[in-house]
Amino acid sequence: MLADLSVSLWRGGKDGRYETYRVPRRESQTVLDVVTFVQRHIDPTLSYRFACRVGVCGSCAMTVNGKPRWTCRTHVAKVADSGHLEIGPLENLPVIKDLATDMEPFFEKWQKAQGVFAPSKTRHDEIEQIRPDSPARRLADAAIECINCGVCYAACDTVRWNQDYFGPAALTRAWTLLNDERDAGGTARLQAVAGAGGCHACHSHQSCQELCPQALNPTAAIAGLKRRTTAAYLKGEIKA
């Protein structure tokens, strides 16, 4: 019979506090199971987000013992070494209530980095043949599986220190689009990621790469953006 778990959950908004609950331990329990237990059996006023419960949607991301992670994919056995868990909302984002954050700043920066596909053809034009093993497509594919969970954004110190910084996810998406043959965003997108808050603010701490649950490498994508923007700047295609 496993002992009980002591769990501290953030309650309230920005000026809230941690409250502690006792939760029975179970085999193969995940952190999401723990949060769900509290809401169903102890305190129904707890607010939190989840959807798929199986690690494909990214909705359940929270700060667990100091690290941003997907709670449905975090086994309690792996993180509650001393029988204690501390769970808070994702950092670097405004707190709505308890464990739910406002993702709007995250998506606003996505738009600012022009992480949006810019079409170049109509249905009447011929379809491009995109070879999956072309160098550009390989680069795009290596970075494309982002599901906007916000873990990298929450982990990034530069996001924390620099309010203008777009963050790893938005910049990674911009990088994939730059490598997409069909996209017409081109120089305008390079200009968007070359100003204040753009790729050059990244200090390569690589917390994003360490913690991305999809094993993406935003640091490498951002390094690619640095090279492209530098080349474009030196050629006079973009301005500082």
Positions touching another protein (CB under 8 A) are: 10, 14, 63, 65-67, 86, 88-89, 91, 155, 157-158, 161-162, 194-196, 198, 200-201, 203-207, 210-211, 217, 219-220, 223, 226-227, 229-230, 233-234, 238, 240
Q: Smallest distance, Å, CB 196 to another protein?
A: 6
Residues 6+ apart with CB under 8 A from 3: 25, 83
Q: Smallest distance, Å, CB 11 to another protein?
A: 11
CB nearer another protein, residue 91 or residue 180: 91
Residues 6+ apart with CB under 8 A from 128: 121, 181, 182
CB nearer another protein, residue 149 or residue 238: 238
Cβ atoms of 136 and 181 closer than 8 Å: yes
CB nearer another protein, residue 134 or residue 204: 204
Parallel, antiparallel or unpaired: strands 5-11 and 84-88: parallel
Q: Smallest distance, Å, CB 185 to another protein?
A: 17
CB nearer another protein, residue 5 or residue 238: 238
Q: Smallest distance, Å, CB 16 to another protein?
A: 8
Distant-in-sequence contacts of 219-223, Cβ < 8 A, 24+ apart? 219/168, 220/142, 220/143, 221/143, 221/168, 221/171, 221/172, 221/175, 221/176, 222/168, 222/171, 222/172, 222/175
CB nearer another protein, residue 20 or residue 24: 20
